[in-house]
Structure 1
Amino acid sequence: MVPGIDFLRNELGDDGRDLTLRWSGQISLTRRILAVNIFALLLLAGGFFYLDSYRSRIVDSRVAQTAREARLIGEAIAAVDPALRNPLVVRLASDTGSRIRLFDARGGTMVDSRALGLRNFVLQDPDKEDRDQVIARFLDAAIDIVVMAPRPPLYRERADGQQWPDVAAARAQGVVATTVWRAPDRTPVITAAAPLRAGGVVMTTVNARDITKTVRIERFRLSMVLLGVSIVSILLSLFLARTIVRPLRRLARAAVRVRLGRAREVVVPRLPSRRDELGMLARALSDMSLALRARIDATEAFAADVTHEMKNPLASLRSAVEGLSRVQDPALQAQLLAIVRDDVHRLDRLLSDISEASRLDAQLSRAKFEPVDIAAMLEGLVAQRDARGVERGIRLRFDRKPDDRMIVLGEGARLERVFENLIDNALSFSPESGVIAISANSQGDDLVIRVEDEGPGVPEDAREDVFKRFHSVRPDSETFGQHSGLGLAIARTIVDGHQGAIFVESREDRIDGARFVVRLPLADLPL
């Protein structure tokens, strides 16, 4: 009993603060399970934002490639004969997939691959595209807004070379200049201008639709993976929540019904097929409800027994008091007063035993057990009885082995009450000049104490009944009402609270009498 309580206190802490769920405890368990798994999915969804950095790296790589191509095209055009320049421009534009234009020193257009008949640079009209492309552009815009990606300027054709920033930079600084534009369909357009030795500028323009196509394909694949993982995760979350929350709700409903006073009609599910913590909880709650039901039954039976036991002395007391008012004979009055005193004494003893019996369980659950030397306790009890003088010439004898260890963990005063009650019981049934033998010896991990008398003994069919409350079969020589019938019941309650056992068995020597046996676990103390 006590070790179990200490274990719970160690696990939960003094006030259970280590299990406190502050704000999350206000949210349904199902929602919390879903939220945790969805949060993991959101981390996976972060891959969409990684695609933006992936696209930026591809664009940067393409910009560098376009700048190298523009510089090489400029060197190739400068090295060729002017008569062969136009065919070379067409060939280079076809090979690189770009539109090539040559501007003179004043910005006028000298050569344009489109004017030469090569129309490999054509921008898509977004109004003429299908619905899939419209959705794709919407997703592009949404992701760009979320990741706060820089928005390139819209690409527009310019009539004069001076209006192109790349051309102006290449002419003014003598370096290759590049710019990333945004086509109407949100695909990147890359322009690069390189200076010519003759003073002109060559500019290439390429619509990098393959970059957008690659990013959209990867995003679609990631979307499919995320969708599949989301469906599986949500289904598993719901399954997990179902397997956890539904049994908890059943247990909670059963607990509420028990709290409302319907313990007798409530069957707490034991969930025998579950071997996890929920199954352990269900079985623990079921056992607790059964123990509670047994405790309620015992309390009701105890209350009924108390009422019944108190009626007899109260009825006798009332008759004696009523008789005092009518009887004039002093001798009869003295006799009635003696009855009143006996009944009051009997009620006082009965109420004291009832009070102790009703508080034993609660007191034992809070008791702090300490090492108790049972041998010293029994020797002291026998010595006290001998010093006061034992009635009817009855002798008490205590037998033990000197080398036996007889230390148990318990509450000394309660254990002393057990042996006092057993000795009192043995004294009641012992004949004149009889012997009450008390012995103690260790057997394995237990200490066994026997109290034997030479009285009539206990019938085999009544050996359990003697430990019931108010069960009192007294010898004929004993005055009625001297015992409450709670002594052995109190003894069993105390022994049970010490994880021991008390019972009646037959004497091995075949001598008439009763043998009460108490088994208590020995204390595991260091030598």
Structure 2
Amino acid sequence: MPDIDSRRSDDRELTLRWSARVSLTPRILFVNVFALALLAGGFFYLDSYRSRIVDYRVAQSGRETRLIAEALGAAPTAERPALALRLARDTGVWVRLYTTNDAPALDTRALGLRNFGLADPDKQPWTLGAARFLDAMIDTVAGAPRAPLYRERRKALDWPDVRPALVMSRAHATVWRAPDRTPVITAASAMPGGGVVMTTVNARDITQTVRIERYRLAIILLVVSIVSILLSLFLARTIVRPLRRLARAAVRVRLGRAREVVVPRLPTRRDEIGMLARALSDMSLALRARIDAIEAFAADVTHEMKNPLASLRSAVEGLASIRDPALQEQLMAIVRDDVHRLDRLITDISEASRLDAQLSRVKFERVDIGAMIAALLAQRDARGVERGITLRFDRLDAEQLVTLGEGARLERVFENLIDNAISFSPDGGLIVIAAAGAEGDLLIRVEDEGPGVPEDAREQVFRRFQSLRPDGEAFGKHSGLGLAIARTVVEAHHGTISIENRADGTPGAAFVVQLPLAQA
């Protein structure tokens, strides 16, 4: 298993400070509604659109007024009223001609053409009142300049357009605000031969155009908002509900109810939520299996320690009442054996209980298994092998037998296998350790000439505190944890360990360890 560097907190990568305490549902709604708010900005864009239309109409009014002034200046005085009426009717403006600062000398409205009039807001329907309120609100938010209120003036020079037109001899226009918030445009231009022509128009079509576009945009925004909110709620439902179910199941597992909890696996979902659900379900099953293993291990430890403790207690109690030196020496020997048994048992239990945690943190390195086994056999030969047993190592000298792992743990595996083979071998027997590479794997066989292992017990011997000991061996020399430790270490290195018959068909057992070869 490769080394895993795990930090305690991923807050800096996964946590948003502004939303750390906000549920997922309002977050999803906020993100989608925020996008809709950007779309609602189109209402304020329409204000800019209206300003451009008004500017265009102001320029148009200036040009029309100048043309009307030139046409009236070129016409005879007697024909001017008829010409003014025709031009006012064609352009839709109210035409007035001032030759003095008093009342107009020519007025198309006085001549009967009433194409200009201001609407009374109090007499309009409530829908227009709501539209005016919306106009005022948008203008306030957008900070649009407010045109002055339109009022009639009696004298020519009271109009702000007349004096610039006379002084600069060019058309000048002003935008006003009618009582119903529609724009009124006045323009004045000097007339050849003297006098000033002034036109007035109530540009209601501009307001109507902007309101129509605003209404269409509101309909679109309303439909998009409804669809977006429904989709957001659907998305939140598909994300938040399964997450809440998983969270509740995790809480129940944390409260010690792992056996009662069924973590939903959501098999129909192929997204990240489904992956998370299946991962949590597998984790809960592994946790349950780990808890069961720990409970069974604790029960086995209790059972295994009771025998030497009972024997030790009996021997100690006997020492207090027996005066015979020979019997006392015999009881002391029992005490020493039981103490050695307890020491060995506690040491193996301690190693077995810490093994998983230690292997999960270890950093794997390249380990030459061939060199390791050769060194182990050389050490045993130097010390001398008991009962005249011979150890032989079969390998090709040029073959690289390298795997990724933790050398000390793998060395313990082969020590346990060699010790097991020695204990079952007859006096003067031969133990063969063979190592070779095969299709990307490393195979190590430890064969002895003992009685072998029955097929129905080949899995049992790898369980903790399960031991099949050779006949004649003194009780308590082994804790029953050696092969269990070996299997744990091998499986942590992504390998397997099993028991087979000898390849040549002779009596004996062959322990086969398979490990992945390291890449060159």
Q: TM-score per shorter chain, which class? A: over 0.9
Q: Is the 8 A contact 1:450 1:517 kept in 2?
A: yes
Q: Which moved more, 1:424-433 or 1:160-169?
A: 160-169
Letter in 2 for 1:465: Q
Following the alignment from structure 2 to structure 1, what is the Cα–Cα distance between the partners of residues 488 and 373? 20
Residue 336, structure 1, aligned to residue 328, structure 2: no
Paired residue for 1:369? 364
Following the alignment from structure 1 to structure 2, what is the Cα–Cα distance between the partners of residues 442 and 17? 47
Following the alignment from structure 2 to structure 1, what is the Cα–Cα distance between the partners of residues 72 and 10? 87
Following the alignment from structure 1 to structure 2, what is the Cα–Cα distance between the partners of residues 283 and 380? 46
Q: CA deviation at 1:345?
A: 0.4
Letter in 1 for 2:148: P
Q: Is the 8 A contact 1:105 1:199 kept in 2?
A: no
Paired residue for 1:408? 403
Q: CA deviation at 1:34?
A: 1.1
Q: CA deviation at 1:198?
A: 2.9
Ranges of 4+ aligned residues in structure 1 off by more than 3 Å: 12-17
Q: Is the 8 A contact 2:65 2:189 kept in 1?
A: yes
Paired residue for 2:136? 141
Paired residue for 1:2? 2
Paired residue for 1:99? 94
Q: CA deviation at 1:21?
A: 2.5
Q: CA deviation at 1:311?
A: 0.3
Residue 426, structure 1, aligned to residue 421, structure 2: yes
Gaps of at least 5 residues in structure 2 are none
Paired residue for 1:52? 47
Q: Is the 8 A contact 2:102 2:154 kept in 1?
A: no
Paired residue for 2:279? 284
SS at match of 1:520: strand
SS at match of 1:322: helix
Q: CA deviation at 1:473?
A: 1.7
SS at match of 2:442: strand
Paired residue for 2:301? 306
Following the alignment from structure 2 to structure 1, what is the Cα–Cα distance between the partners of residues 450 and 417? 13
Post-superposition CA distance 1:464-488 (Å, at most 9, x none): 0000000012112111100000000
Paired residue for 1:293? 288
- Over the matched positions of the two proteins, sequence identity in percent amounts to 72
Residue 189, structure 1, aligned to residue 158, structure 2: no
Paired residue for 1:223? 218
Residue 393, structure 1, aligned to residue 388, structure 2: yes
SS at match of 2:433: strand
Q: CA deviation at 1:28?
A: 1.2
Q: CA deviation at 1:29?
A: 1.2
Post-superposition CA distance 1:195-216 (Å, at most 9, x none): 1223211100001011011101
Following the alignment from structure 1 to structure 2, what is the Cα–Cα distance between the partners of residues 109 and 191? 15
Letter in 1 for 2:2: V
Q: Which moved more, 1:100-109 or 1:142-151?
A: 100-109
Following the alignment from structure 2 to structure 1, what is the Cα–Cα distance between the partners of residues 483 and 265? 35
Q: Which moved more, 1:393-402 or 1:291-300?
A: 393-402
Q: CA deviation at 1:431?
A: 0.8
In structure 2, which of residues 46, 66, 70 is the aligned counterpart of residue 71 of structure 1?
66
Letter in 1 for 2:106: V
SS at match of 1:42: helix
Q: CA deviation at 1:304?
A: 0.3
Aligned length: 520
Q: CA deviation at 1:240?
A: 1.1
Query: Which aligned pairs between 1:107-506 and structure 2 lie closer than 5 A?
Result: 107-506=102-501
Letter in 2 for 1:520: L
Following the alignment from structure 1 to structure 2, what is the Cα–Cα distance between the partners of residues 15 and 217? 52
* Cα 1:81–1:89 shift into 2, 3 Å: same
Q: Is the 8 A contact 2:101 2:155 kept in 1?
A: no
Following the alignment from structure 1 to structure 2, what is the Cα–Cα distance between the partners of residues 306 and 135? 84
Post-superposition CA distance 1:172-208 (Å, at most 9, x none): 3332111100011111000001112232111000010
Post-superposition CA distance 1:5-35 (Å, at most 9, x none): 35xx5xx898563223323222211111111
Paired residue for 1:26? 21
Q: Which moved more, 1:480-489 or 1:124-133?
A: 124-133
* Cα 1:66–1:184 shift into 2, 3 Å: same
Q: CA deviation at 1:64?
A: 0.5
Q: Is the 8 A contact 1:440 1:447 kept in 2?
A: yes
Post-superposition CA distance 1:68-90 (Å, at most 9, x none): 01001001111111111111111
Following the alignment from structure 1 to structure 2, what is the Cα–Cα distance between the partners of residues 231 and 381? 76
Following the alignment from structure 1 to structure 2, what is the Cα–Cα distance between the partners of residues 72 and 196? 9
SS at match of 2:367: strand
Following the alignment from structure 2 to structure 1, what is the Cα–Cα distance between the partners of residues 275 and 395? 44
SS at match of 2:60: helix
Q: Which moved more, 1:292-301 or 1:172-181?
A: 172-181
* Cα 1:177–1:107 shift into 2, 3 Å: farther
Following the alignment from structure 1 to structure 2, what is the Cα–Cα distance between the partners of residues 20 and 13? 14
Q: Is the 8 A contact 2:166 2:196 kept in 1?
A: yes
Residue 519, structure 1, aligned to residue 519, structure 2: no
Letter in 1 for 2:138: I
Following the alignment from structure 1 to structure 2, what is the Cα–Cα distance between the partners of residues 492 and 136? 82
TM normalised by structure 1 equals 0.97
Q: CA deviation at 1:382?
A: 1.1
* Cα 1:16–1:493 shift into 2, 3 Å: farther
SS at match of 2:466: coil
Gaps of at least 5 residues in structure 1 are none
Following the alignment from structure 1 to structure 2, what is the Cα–Cα distance between the partners of residues 20 and 364? 31
TM normalised by structure 2 equals 0.98
Letter in 2 for 1:138: F
SS at match of 2:397: coil
Post-superposition CA distance 1:359-407 (Å, at most 9, x none): 0001111111111111111111111111111111111111012232200
Following the alignment from structure 1 to structure 2, what is the Cα–Cα distance between the partners of residues 482 and 455? 18
* Cα 1:523–1:133 shift into 2, 3 Å: same
Superposition RMSD in Å: 1.3
